[in-house]
Structure 1
């Protein structure tokens, strides 16, 4: 039986391994610059900004969901944003991903969140179908924007 629990500091190396495996799947392995120290600080430091849950069976990690809270000015309430959902290749198709999503939905409800959101790559049709089957509604009218690196420094007027 799959069990889901909140990540602990000793899980950081597993979480980073999962992040790297996810990045490889998403064809962006060279973009991962996170370290165990950075993830530890982000999740367990003085001012945590992210949380994670681990799915495991008999103590063996099968996957994880890393998330944080966002805020909706329209509702006046916080939401839950899923940054990464990852299930190991050998555990896929066994309900682990669905269990992780259901667990996070429960966290969102328990914490009074009015939304549970995430992004998915356009080419990942398997994931898109899975998310739709779980009740997610694609927000086709929205485009995700990002400013990073030199462009971020320039936008901040510091470069």
Structure 2
């Protein structure tokens, strides 16, 4: 049986985190979209104003997965929440329970921090992930559509502010 350990990422983990992000992007067929820069990542995760946190999952002492998350806020609940941006477990560690351990740690943090929910998005073709999440008791939000504003459209709208 494998020994699993979940720890908070440290500044010297930035290279590892970017490596995980690239592996995840390759799995999701989105490698061309990864432009993350190590110096920028270091500042955003560990600088004066951190924007996100990372958990590193280890199997038998070797880093094999990660979860990158940040807080959001539910006005309806009147409570903070945790949004899971990325969850990734290397194929060699799938089936060890590491994904469940990472999500379990996030759920524990959400409870400790008084959060009302833990949420994330999943690509609609990623059936293994969808099945995994459903086995944990997660429910899809079929009546919600996610929108995104990036690049030139983001800048154009930003220039409209008063």
Report the TM-score range of the alignment, normalised by the length of the smaller protein. Answer: over 0.9
User: Match of 1:90, SS?
Assistant: helix
Partner of 1:128: 130
Q: How far apart are residue 94 of structure 1 and its match?
A: 1.1
Partner of 1:44: 46
User: Match of 1:97, SS?
Assistant: helix
Partner of 2:64: 62
TM-score between both structures, scaled by the size of structure 1? 0.97
User: Match of 1:86, SS?
Assistant: strand
TM-score between both structures, scaled by the size of structure 2? 0.95
Q: Which blocks of at least 5 consecutive residues in structure 1 are unaligned?
A: none
- Aligned partners of 2:20, 2:111: CA distance in 1, in Å? 26
Alpha-carbon RMSD across the aligned residues, in angstroms, is 0.9
Once the two structures are superposed, residues 50-94 of structure 1 have per-residue CA deviations (whole angstroms, 9 ceiling, x without a partner) of 000001134310100000000011111100000000001100111
Moved over 6 A (4+): none
Partner of 2:6: 4
Partner of 1:21: 23
Partner of 1:31: 33
1:70-149 pair list within 5 angstroms: 70-149=72-151
Q: Which blocks of at least 5 consecutive residues in structure 2 are unaligned?
A: none
Q: How far apart are residue 140 of structure 1 and its match?
A: 0.5
For these two proteins, the number of residue pairs brought into alignment is: 158
Q: How far apart are residue 40 of structure 1 and its match?
A: 0.7
